[in-house]
Amino acid sequence: MSKTALSTTLRLSALTLALCAAFDTRAQTAAASPVETGTPAALERPVTALVVERTDIDASGAVAPATFGGSEYNRDFLRGFKNDSALRNGHRDYGYLGTECFCSMESIEVLKGPASALYGNGKPGGDLNSIAKMPGLVDYRNISVFTSSPGLSRVRLDVADVVGDVSYRVNAQAYSGATYTDYNNRQSAFIVPVIEWRVTPDLKLTVSYNGGYLDATWNPQLLANQALLGLPAKRFLGEPDNRMRIVDNTTRMELDYKLANGDHLRQALLYQVESYRDAGLAYDTYNYALADLVDTAGNVKRVSQRDRANQTIFVSQSELIGRGTLAQIPVEYLLGLEIGRFDYRYKLDVGSGSAINIYRPVYGAAMAGALDTLADQTYGTDNLVLYSQNRFQLSPSIRLLLGLRAERYRDYLQEAGEARSSQSDSLFSPRVGLTYQLHPNWIAALSWTNSSRPQIGAKSASGKLFRPEAGTQTEGSLQYTAPDESLKMTTSLFSITRKNVLTQDLASPNFQIDSGRRHSRGIEEDLSYSFTPELKLDAAASYTSAYVSHDTVLPVGALLAGVPKWFSSLYLGYDVTPAWSLGAGYVFESRRTATLPDNGVSLPAMSSIDLTVTYKTKKWSIDATLVNSGNHRGFTSDGYTVTPVNPREFQLTGRYKF
């Protein structure tokens, strides 16, 4: 079965594939081995990771939209809330982790419930953890070439080997060409070497580096204006010389030591330096409301804009992972200490700019010679965290999970020419989960998750920083697995509340206060069925009601922007012969509110079908994919900006093992 068409459904349905990731003790691709108690295998839980080659994922924008080149890791929503951060090999993402090369990622792990709060992202509804490709392969060499109908071409190389006690793997990628948007092009190059040294039989050292750049046309983000949404997806309303450049350097190191009793000590370090630059003409949202951006003649107001940002991240994680007994109860435990620092510098300059007609654009306008600085900020956070997650085997059929994250942090914010504001606080995030084997084929689960997250980079009218955002989730789920494992079904019910959300300060309308509250509740259904070993179906459906439950300005009950109430996806794969495979993927999202507060513009219901065919031999394979075969129009929204769904596009990928 070809994996390429999985990209259609992965973008949203993968978020609902895992039932009990909440009961894994670590963010890794496979569940921990069972405690030796004779527990039925079914209780060991469904796999948390959906392994799909990166070529298949980012070629169609399944995780990050193709026009972003990976600079935004995931813009979809997890159970009603924007997924504005993620995890990389268990390292916490502050929402700015940067441009990781997809060529080096092996899989994506979907975490829900208690496990999603382990590393402190403050998203009780769930999280994503990307898992890197690691050494260990012997004499492995793979090259792939990708091209698309708009004109984007890419070459990837994956080389690995084992030399004595040292294993290495090097992934590299270079691409260049045009996207489906007029006058838009991208150039990028990345290299990601990983070295693993077995220092002794019990001590392993792993060092990796992610380095590269992205240079692309800076395309002004589409906004919730009715005239703009009526344009073809390819329409470009910036200037051809608009540019964006990202440079990333990320180094990771991990020591893993196996103790005499079988426990593991893990010490991991992350250090990243990244810079971002863009300049060009963009929409003038500084002087005009969204509804007033386009006049009756079809001219959209624009400004000259330049953004510059630099960030530095350091994270240290020290963990003890093992198993033992407590009062004769088998327990798997994880104890950790995290020390982190995040620093971010951002500067925004804006000046005058000429309008452009949205129906008959004429390019050639230059940026203004003089720009005014609208923002010049330095902000960040230091944190010290103790965290623990423990899974108890109360009986052959009952497991209890208890976890706690205790964090002491210090936030700071400094505007240019002003004194630095800072604050310190302590956060406690407990979580509990329970699974019960009702029957050899049925598992029930309940969980309650609490999470907290500092609000970095914002301050009130009085100059004080905001208290952390807090979230809680209650979830119940039921899973059925057929005796022959040909059918797996999962039903999940959830309710999430997020408190201390920023909302407008009525006494000082240009500032915010932290008294808002948002709520999301829903039901998810996932199904996987093998008609035959060659013919398989994966399906997912969900209903999500996400709304404002308290605010100073927004009406209670207002729907959260960008969140579809109804979602469904299907993927059907058929291995015609050992060499030939066919696949078809379908995704549907219901009508959504485009912005919050609602400006009266909504995003229509959308659907898309991808079709793929694969031919493979032992040495090489070819994938041909038709993305959005019906060429249906559609949009996604992050609550303010809007992204068109990829128009019909033909993609061809060839891989060769040499």
Q: What angle do CA 572, 540, 100 make, to 5 degrees?
A: 85
What are residue 429's DSSP bridge partners? 405
Per DSSP, 294 falls in state B
Q: How far apart are CA 312 and CA 248, in angstroms?
A: 10
CB 194 within 8 A of CB 208: yes
Exposure string of 306-341, with b = 16+ CB inside 10 Å and e = fewer, is bbebbbebebebebebbbeeeeeebbbbbebebebe
**Alpha-carbon distances of 619 from 142, 387, 405, 578, rounded to whole Å:** 9, 46, 48, 14
pLDDT of 97 reads: 52
Question: Is it true that the peptide bond before 597 is cis, omega within 30 degrees of 0?
Answer: yes
pLDDT of 80 reads: 83
Going by their DSSP bridges, the two strands 222-223 and 203-217 should be labelled as unpaired
pLDDT of 102 reads: 75
**Quick one: which H or E segment has residue 439?**
strand 421-439
**Alpha-carbon distances of 238 from 235, 243, 637, rounded to whole Å:** 9, 10, 20
Burial of residue 353, with CB atoms counted within 10 A of its CB: 0-12 exposed, 13-18 middle, 19 or more buried: buried
pLDDT of 259 reads: 96
pLDDT of 15 reads: 26
Which are the contacts of 580, defined by CB distance < 8 A and separation ≥ 6?
Answer: 613, 614, 615
Q: What angle do CA 555, 226, 545 make, to 5 degrees?
A: 40
**Alpha-carbon distances of 205 from 261, 309, 321, 322, rounded to whole Å:** 20, 33, 17, 19
Mean pLDDT for each 10-residue chunk of the chain (658 residues)?
30 27 29 28 28 30 29 56 69 59 75 64 68 90 94 94 96 93 93 96 95 92 90 94 93 95 93 93 93 94 95 92 92 92 93 96 95 94 91 93 90 90 89 91 90 80 83 91 93 92 78 88 92 92 93 90 89 93 91 86 90 93 92 83 88 94
Going by their DSSP bridges, the two strands 469-481 and 487-504 should be labelled as antiparallel
pLDDT of 455 reads: 81
pLDDT of 110 reads: 66
pLDDT of 487 reads: 95
Task: Show the 3-state SS of 628-648.
Answer: CCCCCCCEEECCCEEEECCCC
Q: For residue 589, which of 31, 187, 77, 242 has the smallest C-alpha distance? A: 77
CB 78 within 8 A of CB 542: no
**Alpha-carbon distances of 517 from 257, 546, 556, rounded to whole Å:** 44, 11, 10
Exposure string of 171-207, with b = 16+ CB inside 10 Å and e = fewer, is bbbbbeebbbbbbbbbebbbbbbbebeeeeeeebbbe
Q: How far apart are CA 587 and CA 539, in angstroms?
A: 10
Region label for 629, one of left (φ > 0), alpha (ψ between -120 and 50) or beta (otherwise): alpha
Place of tokens 């997890």: 78
Q: How far apart are CA 121 and CA 127, in angstroms?
A: 8
Residue 473, Cβ neighbours under 10 Å: how many? 28
Q: How far apart are CA 529 and CA 526, in angstroms?
A: 10
- Alpha carbons within 13 A on the beta-carbon side of 271: 5
End-to-end CA gap in the chain = 23
Per the structure block, which two tokens stand in for 642? Answer: 């809007």
Domains, the chain, with CATH or none: 6-657 (2.40.170.20)
Q: How far apart are CA 296 and CA 318, in angstroms?
A: 61
pLDDT of 470 reads: 87
Task: Report how many helices (DSSP H) and strands (DSSP E) the chain contains, helices first.
Answer: 3, 36
Q: How far apart are CA 215 and CA 187, in angstroms?
A: 5
Q: How far apart are CA 589 and CA 15, in angstroms?
A: 14
Which are the contacts of 218, defined by CB distance < 8 A and separation ≥ 6?
Answer: 238, 242, 243, 244, 278, 279, 280, 282
pLDDT of 76 reads: 60
Place of tokens 């990983």: 194
Per the structure block, which two tokens stand in for 479? Answer: 């899973």
Going by their DSSP bridges, the two strands 105-111 and 49-50 should be labelled as antiparallel
Which are the contacts of 201, defined by CB distance < 8 A and separation ≥ 6?
Answer: none
Place of tokens 């022959």: 484
Q: How far apart are CA 175 and CA 48, in angstroms?
A: 31
pTM more than 0.85: no
Q: How far apart are CA 313 and CA 290, in angstroms?
A: 35
